[in-house]
Amino acid sequence: MTSLSNATADYRARDAAHHIHPFSDMKSLNAEGSRVIVRGEGAWIWDSDGNRILDGMSGLWCVNIGHGRPEIAAAIQRQMAEISYYNTFFKTTHPPAVALAEALARLSPPQFNHVFFCGSGSEANDTVIRMVRHYWATLGKPKKTVLIARKNAYHGSTMGGGSLGGMAPIHSQGGLPIPGIHHIAQPYWFGEGGEATPEEFGIQAARELETAIEELGEENIAAFVAEPIQGAGGVIIPPASYWPEIARILRGREILLVADEVITGFGRTGNWFGSQTFGIEADLMPIAKGLSSGYLPIGGVMVSDKVADVLIGPGGEFHHGFTYSAHPLTAAAALENLRIIEEEKLVDRVRDDIGPYLQKLWLALGDHPLVGEARMTGLMGALELVPNKPSRAHAFPDTGKVGTIARDFSFRNGLVMRAVRDSLILAPPLTLTHEEADILAATAKKTLDDTLAEVK
């Protein structure tokens, strides 16, 4: 590592003086100084001291096609030369909105032929809350308003998204959750499965949905909302029994299924959508992040024919929308991003090539004395750090401390991984090469060794 440059010190001082960061402890951030990232290319980023770091988190799970793609810049510039902004309210549209909606209908599972655009994953989930309630009210069932979601889920940090999510620190501020949201167990076998096998635990966790439906009354429930794999919660890959049991419980019931694909969409799990990886037949799919690979902010809700038929016909006008719904520049960037994913066959690559290649290296880290479990689906993985290897207990005193130590070692060693409690999580760009995967695995191994030496 090079020493701290004057430029870095200057950025840090000015940042500390004026910038309140999302999800950051500002007191310690200001004492330590922020990390200043100045450039990105492919799977790599550079900080303001010139250090090159492998971006194992694709920014924030979003840069699926890798950083610095000139094709996206050119697409944005081409659209700018036509018109930079116009809205899609009041029966108006524009060419990028038309083309993007059409492309999404083609690429999504067959029941999805419509999309409602917004600016982010949080807005997509807020849209879901209003849309499912409007759907049932239109069908003459206005009492069906409750949304069931899961503990430790993440669906954004607006009032709606933060409420649907099941994270205690978010609920502890700002009066969340809003009424009408009910949380059930997450299918987190490693942390909460006790003596049950993963398969038994998957069924057990899914059956909490059945119990909640019985307790709350089907006549009051609008939807069940869940991520195919919980991302921010710690890359919680459900046991194989979980999603089929959810499908069994919902079969024949009047409850909409919402698969939040904000992270799992656009190739991350080795299919276009995580729903396809797990055999989920959703009625709505919030999308964002990989939709534009984060080049510009855009989100949306994929709407199935079942819901669209009600919204478009008897539903009348949906009194909902955002100034930047289908913003022309973001839509043009997303369209070009989808073109790249298709042309470079990135989804197939994750399923058949780089996915299996990295999984093998990653799962081998499970042999490390500090790792209780290594898991990965597609290019989404986690390492559970434990003090007493054969046991799955999260027995480190002061939960999160060891995870943070490991995360900081990783960054210093040249790899971005994120810490969730005492686990390390990973979601690199889908363009990762085999050579980069080798570097990633070797750096993760060094990080585990460094962490073990520090904490033992």
Rule CB under 6 A: which residues touch ligand PLP? 120-122, 125, 154-156, 161, 227, 231-232, 260, 262-263, 288, 299
CA distances from 239 to 132, 202, 245, 247, 380 (A): 28, 5, 11, 14, 15
Q: How far is the CB of 362 from ligand PLP (least distance, A)?
A: 20
Q: Provide the residue type at 325 as one letter.
A: S
Q: Cβ of residue 196: shortest distance to ligand PLP, in angstroms? A: 26
Whose Cβ is closer to ligand PLP: residue 273's or residue 409's? 273
Nearer to ligand PLP, 121 or 372 (CB): 121
**Closest by Cα among 300, 334, 329, 325 to 92:** 325
Measured from the CB atom, the residue of 100 and 262 that comes closer to ligand PLP is 262
Q: Which is nearer to ligand PLP, 156 or 403 (CB)?
A: 156
* Cβ proximity to ligand PLP, 64 vs 125, nearer residue: 125
- Please give the biggest Cα pair distance in the chain: 66
- The CB-of-261 to ligand PLP minimum distance in angstroms stands at 8
Cβ closer to ligand PLP: 108 or 443? 108
- In whole angstroms, the minimum distance from the beta carbon of 155 to ligand PLP comes to 5
Q: For the CB of residue 382, give the shortest distance to ligand PLP in the complex, in Å.
A: 14
Are the C-beta atoms of 183 and 216 separated by less than 8 Å? Answer: no
Closest residue to ligand PLP in the complex (CB): 121
Cα separation, 177 vs 435, in Å, equals 45
Shortest Å distance, C-beta 258 to ligand PLP: 11
The dihedral built from the CA positions of residue 359, 401, 233 and 116, taken in this order, carries a sign that is negative
Cβ-Cβ contacts under 8 Å for 159 (sequence gap 6 or more): 126, 174, 176, 178
Least distance between ligand PLP and beta carbon 262 (Å): 3
| Closer residue to ligand PLP in complex, CB, 262/282 | 262
Contacts by residues 209-216 (CB-CB < 8 Å, ≥ 24 positions apart): 209/148, 209/184, 209/246, 209/249, 209/250, 210/249, 211/184, 212/148, 212/182, 212/184, 213/148, 213/249, 213/253, 213/255, 216/146, 216/148, 216/182
